[in-house]
Amino acid sequence: MQERYRLYRRENGIYYLEEVATRKQESLKTKHRSEAMGLLSARNQASAHPTLNLALARTYLLGRSPELWD
């Protein structure tokens, strides 16, 4: 499966994401490669498994606010 986002660094040293299909660019607001790679990985995993993300979000919300599900 092709990844949805790619990572690049501008001359000022800040890392950016680019969505492959739309070429929309977004700053990651970091100069640290390891942090940028983690954010890139999270974005690509989120786009690859949207159903899993929804289930995880519900689980986290239930843990934080049980009254939401009453």
Longest dimension (CA), the chain: 52
Sheet strand arrangement including 5-9? 5-9, 15-19, 25-27
pLDDT band at 32 (very low <50, low <70, confident <90, very high): very high
**Number of helical H runs and strand E runs in the chain:** 2, 3
Round to whole Å and give the CA distance between 69 and 43. Answer: 28
Dihedral sign computed on CA atoms, order 41, 44, 36, 9: positive
pLDDT band at 69 (very low <50, low <70, confident <90, very high): low
Per domain, the residue ranges of the chain are 5-69
pLDDT digits (tens, 9 = 90+) for 43-65: 998 888 878 878 888 888 888 77
